[in-house]
A and B are shown apart, each in its own frame.
Chain A
Amino acid sequence: MKTDIILAGVGGQGILSIATVIGLAAVNNNLYIKQAEVHGMSQRGGAVYSHLRLSDSPVASDLIPLGKGDVILSVEPMEALRYLPYLNPTGWVVTNTHPFINIGNYPDSAALTEQLQALDRRVLVDADALATECGNVKASNIVMLGAAIPFLDIPYEQLEAAVRGIFGRKGEEIVDLNIHALKTGFEIAQQQTKA
């Protein structure tokens, strides 16, 4: 088993938190993991990504080769499309549809939606709206993590345990919020992939 995931978003949107949760779940599941992050200048509102590789045998490269990614998991719709060259022919795009607009020439929303709808394997989630319903828009990254669970080869329960592990020190309220967000994303993805 091997799953190569491109995590994408804008600096400050919380993709490293997603990576931390998956990382903890992977280690607890005795999987090999390599996860290359971007720190520094681009974290100031720029495009950020992380290459996350999970496998039951040792992983050589920290970077995923072009055309070999199994999943693009993005917390921002335009950023999901940026990394398409990394996706393999049967790979899935799992993305938040709520745009993060901090540039003047952000694409037209209808054109963007059209591009996302044109993808043959996709899970499209308005994670900001769902996270707000869960209690805090900041949990949108965890909604997206939930939406990616069907593609991770890690059982839902393990990821829930990892969310508990990572957010535990922030108090029970935060843990409950994030588990609610995780479950919400997971359920939406199950509905969309069944169809």
Chain B
Amino acid sequence: MQKRLLLGDEVIAQAAIDAGLSGIYGYPGTPSTEIMEYVQASEEAAEKHIHCRWSANEKTAMEAALGMSYCGKRTMVCMKHVGMNVAADAFINSAITGVNGGLIVVVADDPSMHSSQNEQDSRFYGQFALITVLEPSSQQEAYDMVFYGFELSEKTGLPVMMRITTRMAHSRTGVALREKRAQNELHLPADPRQFVLLPALARIRYKKLISQQAELTQEAESAGFNLFNEGQDNSLGIIACGIAYNYLMENFSGKCPYPVVKLSQYPVPAAMIARLTEKCRKILVLEEGYPVVESQLKGLIPPEGFTVSGRLDGTVPRDGELTPDLVAVALGLQQTAIRTAPELVTNRPPAFCKGCGHTDVFLALNDAVKEYAPVCVFSDIGCYTLAALPPHLSINSCVDMGASITMAKGAYDAGLLHATAVIGDSTFAHSGMTGLLDVIIENTPITIIISDNLTTGMTGGQASSAYGAIENICLGLGLPAERLKVLTPLKKYHDENVAVLREAMQYEGTCVIVFRRECVQTAARRVRTK
């Protein structure tokens, strides 16, 4: 059978379509974005009327998916790791309510922070919620796991998390597809009170969730994704999680001399691990992300009879993504001599595209703040965060989606004058609107710049939920019309834009200035496809 050449993200999307998906929800974020984009581009998904629009943020996505699951349909939510922080309220509670139709939450972690502000490990969230976490080691396994994940979710009545990392999300390989399964018929939960988390009912649901833990562990022992590979040399036992298994096998050309537990499904299969510790007194844990399994094995009191090494004792670096080379070092293998790059090779950091509207925003802002120094500019998550780098050096913060507006407010509350916020249109819709409400209620004298490029730029131009609605949102939240200005970030309007910014900064109340110009990338694509 001919295999399809697909990115890891695309494999997960195709698997979901093949396994009877009725709707997918999410908010764009590297490295998860291509899951939703694949469904949106799929003719098959369109014929099957699979719902596939971006949500305003990860929390609204998670909740919509839960609603679809409530109706008995199979659904998927996709997000990057930090998106899980936003979705967490709904996510944790979805384990208490349980599900009706199968629900898989795909979270793409970004160890080494290729495109992120931290490298948090989503397996902790899965553990925290007391649900199954699937961590595929290959794209084919990811495909098969989506089928299994939906079945397990419906069998146990619980959501399932699939955790992938950058190299799984953004690596392409050939994958064999299965026979397609029809979508579920709409059917409501058998227990009409299942989703009502009033304390008295929630206590019952929580006890049920706890009682299911043994069943989930048993699934991890027997489902076939976790494997015990015998080895002839018991001087070392290895636990290799997710794609760490590939790096291990790369170093031994597929024939590892040591016993190995290939770990791709959690809760950690305790019996399988016990089999390893019976044979081996030294255990090496290879895991992408935080030392989740290593910490569990070690606990607080040193384990008796065996030693555990990994990220905590420095055998593997404490931070950053794994590579075959780091695994080779951890295994004590002979290193091949490598060449070095000549010294003249310099860094080439990302930068604003030529002609980007954000550039004109920051040129104007830098000129406007000159006479009010020191002015702190609180910014947000998006392409415009690049203004932290030379030549602009315009911004003083980038923390989480929406934090620009609320941090500027807090800074004013602390006594800082002329605090300014810069946020993009999509980020404003995601988590800026609620913060703006706080600001408007107190009429906090800060200037909020919404740099509207009419898209979600950094992740490649996805639809922005604020499209065409920013002024109405601001006015609807209570901003007086005369405090709202809409400007065009172009060189020819520079002086005028600087003057408007200066005036806003002098004003003793909240001002919102929308700078609007289409992203040059999406504009170019629009022209090409015409």
Q: Is the CB of A41 within 8 A of B325?
A: no
Q: How far is the CB of B269 from chain A (nearest CB, A)?
A: 22
Q: Is the CB of A61 within 8 A of B342?
A: no
Q: Which residue of B lies closest to A44 (CB)?
A: B350
**The stretch of B197-205, B245-253, B363-371, B490-498 that contacts the partner chain:** B245-253
Cα(A114)–Cα(B324), bound, Å: 32
Most A Cβ at <10 Å: residue of B168, B254, B350, B386? B350
Q: Residue A46 contacts which of B34, B351, B458 (CB distance < 8 angstroms)? A: B351
Residues of A within 8 A of B211 (CB): none
Q: Contacts A40-B30, A112-B344 hold; do A19 and B351 have CB atoms under 8 A apart?
A: no
Cα(A107)–Cα(B347), bound, Å: 11
Q: Is the CB of B172 within 8 A of A46?
A: no
**The stretch of A79-87, A126-134, A153-161, A181-189 that contacts the partner chain:** A79-87
Residues of A within 8 A of B478 (CB): none
Q: Is the CB of B350 within 8 A of A11?
A: yes
Cα(A77)–Cα(B325), bound, Å: 26
Residues of B within 8 A of A66 (CB): 325, 336, 338
**A102 beta carbon closer than 8 Å to chain B:** yes
Q: Is the CB of B170 within 8 A of A39?
A: yes
**B459 beta carbon closer than 8 Å to chain A:** yes
Q: How far is the CB of A36 from chain B (nearest CB, A)?
A: 4
**A23 beta carbon closer than 8 Å to chain B:** yes
Residues of B within 8 A of A83 (CB): 341
* Residues 18-60 of chain A, each 1 if its beta carbon lies under 8 Å from chain B, else 0: 0100011001000011111111111111110000000000111
* Residues 66-91 of chain A, each 1 if its beta carbon lies under 8 Å from chain B, else 0: 11100000000011011111111100
Q: Contacts A34-B173, A44-B352, A45-B353 hold; do A61 and B114 have CB atoms under 8 A apart?
A: no
Q: Residue A65 contacts which of B2, B34, B324, B342 (CB distance < 8 angstroms)? A: B324
Residues of A within 8 A of B5 (CB): 23-24, 27, 33
**B530 beta carbon closer than 8 Å to chain A:** no
**A63 beta carbon closer than 8 Å to chain B:** yes
Most A Cβ at <10 Å: residue of B33, B171, B247, B460? B171
Q: Is the CB of A41 within 8 A of B458?
A: yes
**B383 beta carbon closer than 8 Å to chain A:** yes
Q: Is the CB of A102 within 8 A of B348?
A: yes
Q: Is the CB of A37 within 8 A of B250?
A: no
**B349 beta carbon closer than 8 Å to chain A:** yes
Q: Is the CB of A34 within 8 A of B340?
A: no
Q: Residue A36 contacts which of B170, B174, B336, B347 (CB distance < 8 angstroms)? A: B170
Residues of A within 8 A of B419 (CB): none
Q: Is the CB of A67 within 8 A of B338?
A: yes
**B339 beta carbon closer than 8 Å to chain A:** yes
Residues of A within 8 A of B249 (CB): 60-61
Q: Contacts A65-B325, A84-B339, A111-B344 hold; do A34 and B351 have CB atoms under 8 A apart?
A: no
**B328 beta carbon closer than 8 Å to chain A:** yes
Q: Residue B167 contacts which of A46, A63, A112 (CB distance < 8 angstroms)? A: A63
Q: How far is the CB of B341 from chain A (nearest CB, A)?
A: 5
**A172 beta carbon closer than 8 Å to chain B:** no
Residues of A within 8 A of B525 (CB): none
Cα(A66)–Cα(B324), bound, Å: 8
Chain B residues 118-172 with CB under 8 Å of chain A are 167-168, 170-172
Q: List 24 A-B contacts (CB under 8 A).
A: A19-B172, A33-B5, A34-B171, A35-B173, A36-B170, A38-B170, A39-B31, A39-B115, A40-B30, A43-B350, A44-B458, A45-B348, A45-B350, A60-B246, A60-B250, A63-B247, A63-B323, A63-B324, A66-B325, A67-B338, A81-B345, A82-B345, A84-B340, A115-B342
Q: A39-B34, A40-B115, A58-B254 are in contact. List 6 more A-B contacts (CB 8 A).
A: A27-B174, A33-B5, A81-B341, A85-B339, A89-B337, A105-B346
